[in-house]
Chains A and B, each alone.
Chain A
């Protein structure tokens, strides 16, 4: 049984302070989940004649020289399939995966079991194309998976709905399982011991139509990216009341070395741009501290801020749902509390 896992790379300039490409965090999580499927499936006794090839095969669209082989080996990858790609081309990448699947099925010593990707924009998109090409079902944002359940080699899986606010327990019956892995549920864990890696350069057969869907790439401005990676986020909701009233929140964010994030109502009202929205339909944040001011805590907002290590809520309503999601709560009007907090922080003795 073999699992193919699509790998995304963090490239210098794409991530900070790294000279050589590394495996993206979301792909490390996908590799960790992939290993769950690589031992022989207990419910399906192996045919005596079938070789027991087992392992995770990574698929990377990059130049061979830039593939971080040691990191892949540490995560239990035994084979790396490398195809060059000038830029992100989801349909062409899916074609390449479909070709690998077909070749593996023909050869039998690589009896293919699953194709797995990170639950990112790219991972979901490539696997959806693969699902459409092959007609196979695809399960997005899985948090766990195990053999069993279904009639013949079916998988039991748990996947996220509502951006992780609900979990779905499901059965996947398919000759090959197509899965993407939630980016915030499976913790990345290296294999017990590093695997020995074999590299295979591949050249997928593509036609012009496959390359029609191709991204022209250029570095983006900060914007949403800084919200996603900020250590401190000062959040403002309906309680802020107006576009102008965000000035003290901006000042506080600056004092704390953080950025401002907002709830959906704030962007719907046009008080703040959508790039600052924290939530299911905005950015998902993972700061050390989320200071939620005048935010009631609609479930769509919680989906975006539940990755914060600590939450402090400031709200006039002690029964607001945000207050029960927070570690600390201050009951009061943000319009009085924030200026007082700013003054107190400015008055603090240096050091």
Chain B
């Protein structure tokens, strides 16, 4: 089976998120970038499906020229082909334009399955996979934590508020996955070498403005109180027990 995986380059955030002076973006001068976590699992899932059923894994990202870094990371994990939909560095595509751009790649090949993350960790729009599926005229299931492909059909499972939900769809289909569906491998050395040499197909894209437009970003007001230090090491355990009692968690 031939699988297309859509990934997104997102800032790596550690202990804090800081914004650029104009509040238009996350300040990444002191951090790096990574593949949005759900999508890293989508790549792993595609590589596993192809090793079980045969076929190929193509990855695509919509991003700036520097998103080549994330495509090479996907190639190192086992993808065989990569496409960069290259946008201007400062341009942020909305979910409608993103789905349209991804659809142009998805419909150019005969993919049995298109995989995405359930939502990108940065913008959290929760809709690109569904809009893409509608453009392609294919069924879609989202937030999937377990995926089984049998012949021309797939079974996709997730949990929602104490209910196990199973979607049974014919291929070709679109599936968005969540972290936890698998544990992504570390790239092998041969994989990394292959990724370094691989040719990446570049397609320039420009974006149409959408009805939903960001004005500015802000960090919500913090709780704003320093922690009360109970003490150091085991000597502080009696004080810790007292606090647990005061918080009412000791029955």
Q: How far is the CB of A139 from chain B (nearest CB, A)?
A: 5
Contact B227 A180 (CB under 8 A): no
Whether B53 is near chain A, meaning CB under 8 Å from some CB there, is no
- Interface residues on chain B, number (Cβ under 8 Å): 82
Whether B169 is near chain A, meaning CB under 8 Å from some CB there, is yes
A320 to B15, CA, bound (A): 8
Q: How far is the CB of A60 from chain B (nearest CB, A)?
A: 16
Contact B162 A14 (CB under 8 A): yes
Contact B26 A166 (CB under 8 A): yes
- A14 with B124, Cβ < 8 A, contacts A131-B131, A321-B16, A337-B237 known: no
Q: How far is the CB of A133 from chain B (nearest CB, A)?
A: 7
Contact A137 B227 (CB under 8 A): no
Q: How far is the CB of B191 from chain A (nearest CB, A)?
A: 18
Contact B236 A141 (CB under 8 A): no
Whether A195 is near chain B, meaning CB under 8 Å from some CB there, is no
A117 to B178, CA, bound (A): 21
A257 to B248, CA, bound (A): 12
- A275 with B180, Cβ < 8 A, contacts A256-B249, A300-B13 known: yes
Chain A residues with CB under 8 Å of B243's CB are 312, 328
**In-complex Cβ contact of A136 among B161, B211, B220 (8 A):** B211
Q: Mark A154-187, 1 if CB is under 8 A from B, else 0.
A: 0000001111111111111110000010000000
Whether A245 is near chain B, meaning CB under 8 Å from some CB there, is no
Please tell me the size bucket of the interface on A: 35 or more
- A213 with B219, Cβ < 8 A, contacts A140-B125, A330-B240 known: no
**In-complex Cβ contact of B180 among A128, A225, A282, A324 (8 A):** A282
A positions within 8 Å CB-CB of B: 14-15, 24, 88, 119-122, 124-125, 127-129, 131-133, 135-141, 160-174, 180, 212-220, 223-225, 231-232, 256-258, 264, 267-268, 270, 274-275, 277, 280-282, 288-289, 296-300, 310, 312-313, 318, 320-321, 323-333, 336-337, 340-341, 344-345, 348
B positions within 8 Å CB-CB of A: 13-17, 19, 26, 37-38, 94-96, 99, 119, 121-127, 130-131, 133-135, 139-143, 158-170, 178-180, 183, 210-220, 223, 225-234, 236-238, 240-241, 243-244, 247-251
Q: 3 closest pairs, A vs B, by CB? A: A274-B180, A132-B134, A128-B127
